[in-house]
A = this chain, B = another copy of it.
Amino acid sequence: MPDTMRAFVIKGVGQTAVVEKPIPEPGPNEAVVRTTAALICTSDVHTVRGAIPVPADRTLGHESVGVIHSLGSAVTGFEIGQRVVVGAVTPCFACLPCQRGFTSQCQGMLGGYKFTTQMDGNMAEYFLVPAAAANMAVIPDDITDEQAVYCTDMLSTGFLGVEHCELQLGETIAIFAQGPVGLAATIGARLSGAGFIIAVESRPERQKLAQLFGADAIVDFTAGDPVEQILALTGGEGVDAAVEAFGFPQTFQDCVRATKPGGRITNIGYHGEVPEPLQIPLVEFGLGMADKQIYGGLCPGGSGRMTRLMRLIGTGKIDPTPMTTHRFPFSEIEAAFEMMTTKQDGIIKPLIQFA
């Protein structure tokens, strides 16, 4: 058995590399997983651009699945060799925010997001799983690695945006931007009983996927104010709920503008690129009194959520894999990451396959 592995790391702002590292050893509550498949996330592109300060040689990646390689002494209920999925957020499940249900705020703001920010990520041949008993979910035989890896972040995050919309059956929803997280929100809206789903997106290939995943109408923001288009599509009244899946100040404002009184606005976009306060337009917020609700969240962690997402795939209710536009072996991770950075060739999600 080897004792070293290859890992895709950040060297410094704007610099990445594949390096050799020791295969990690699990502490009592941890496990080590041998990676079989991973997806590259735009969050990592942000990280490499310097959005989050991390030490040199920190491994990137937080969307991986694999096979249990070793188990800590206090981890029960699992066996070496089982295929498992591990969420992008890996909470301790013991601290006060976790007890309260805010697992993505584990031990402090955004603290549930540990890969890369607090420890090595999982774009590597092996990776460590903290609080492994709660964070690993066995992948059923009828789910492929490619399907399972979408549960780690894309589906979990996209669905979160819809869950916080607290939709009643048949309500209307607009989802701003149809990148992979926005597309997952579209899947989630269809799954949650939305009556009319508006996807805001300008790129044809993403519009097409949005329709495949359940959008009833497409709004192209390059063709005019998307809010006016949404108002036109809803008889002037606006939508019951809007999801910000882009991470841009104007988009956030548009979500507030596009909702009717009593509407819900959920944010799942990352707003670290433009370092300005988010703005709530006053009139459309009813001068503070329009019964509008704004929720900004990060996907929660845990094996229970992963299990429920995989069940939806296993019974054929959803299939996120049309988002996989490109496939690379791990040996070509640098080329894949470059492509994700430049968003060439209509890329949505590149799947990384490990030997």
Contacts and interface: CB of A to CB of B under 8 A. Distances in A.
Interface stretch (A62-70, A117-125, A220-228, A263-271): A263-271
Interface stretch (A3-11, A100-108, A202-210): A100-108
Contacts of A108: 261
Contacts of A277: 253, 279-282
Nearest to A296: B288
Nearest to A75: B94
A298 interface: yes
A163 interface: yes
Given A27-B74, A312-B193, A267 B282 contact: no
A276 interface: yes
Contacts of A95: 133-134
Count of this chain's copies in the oligomeric assembly? 4
A14 interface: no
A308 interface: yes
A289 interface: yes
Given A196-B315, A261-B110, A289-B104, A191 B169 contact: yes
Residue of A98, A99, A276, A310 with most partner-chain B CB within 10 A: A99
Given A193-B193, A308-B195, A278 B282 contact: yes
Interface residues of A, number: 87
A293 B266 CA distance: 9
Nearest to A133: B94
A308 B267 contact: no
Interface in A150-199: 159, 163, 168-172, 188, 190-193, 195-196
A77 to B, nearest CB: 8
A278 B288 contact: yes
Contacts of A247: 288
A16 interface: no
A97 B262 contact: yes
Interface of A: 27-29, 73-74, 92-102, 104-105, 108-110, 131, 133-134, 159, 163, 168-172, 188, 190-193, 195-196, 216, 244, 247, 252-253, 260-262, 267-272, 275-282, 285-298, 302-305, 307-312, 314-315, 317
8 contacts: A74-B74, A99-B134, A110-B289, A159-B169, A163-B169, A191-B193, A278-B279, A280-B280
- 3 smallest beta-carbon distances between A and B, as pairs: A170-B308, A195-B311, A105-B261
